[in-house]
Structures are given as C-alpha cells and as structure tokens.
Amino acid sequence: MLAALLGIVLLSKTSCTATYVCFNVPNNGNISIDYLADNPTYQRIVVSVDGVLYDSGLYNAKSQTNVPLYGPNDVVYATVNLSVKIGTCVRSGKATVCPRTVTLLSGSLSDQPISQ
C-alpha cells in the first residue's frame, strides 16, 4: 500500500502536455510517478504510481490542495500547483490555434492531509 510508504513526497518542477498531463514526475521520494493528470474542466486529478491508479473522481479537486486520491487499497492526498501560459493565437483558414504551455511548478503526495 502506497500510503503506508509515503509520508510526504514533494513533486518537482516539470513540463506537462497542453492537456495537463505530466509524465515521469520527478520527486524526492524516489517513487515512480508514471503520470499526473489534472483536468480543470472536471476538477479531477489522477496519478499513476508504479502502474497503480489513484483518482479523485469527478468534481472533487476544486481546490488543488489536499485532494484525496482513491487507490485500490488506500487513499493518498495530492496538492498540485500548475502554471498555464497561453501564447498568441494564430488563425489559419477556419481554425484558430492558441499554444498552451503547462508546467507543474510544485506539489506533494502524502499519506494524510497536510496542514496549510
């Protein structure tokens, strides 16, 4: 069970895709975080740790702080700090493209909520 091993694992800065998915997230806990996916539209965070999914469920990640993520046997708490920068939009024909740069600035996974 991941929660029993965690304590507090700090997530380091890394680039993410324009769809808010961060792969191979660096951290100080030496655990394999395959990806962290943040969906602001559905207020959902999903983290894959060594192939095991932890999911907040829909509309449960409103604050991005101490969000409970439910795994198969335990619960971990995630805090996520993302930066989103929108570049200059370009229109070509009928399509408009606005480049987006998403960066995970910091965050944490822990076995219990972290006091703020």
pLDDT tens-digit series, residues 94-109: 999 999 999 999 999 9
DSSP letters spanning 2-31: HHHHHSEEEEPPEEE-TTSEEES--BTT--
Tokens of 72: 């198969």
Q: How confident is the model at residue 60 (pLDDT cuts 50, 70, 90)?
A: confident
pTM of the model: 0.86
Q: What is the pLDDT of residue 103?
A: 97
Strands (DSSP E) contained in the chain are: 8-11, 14-16, 21-23, 33-39, 44-49, 52-55, 67-70, 75-86, 90-92, 95-97, 100-110
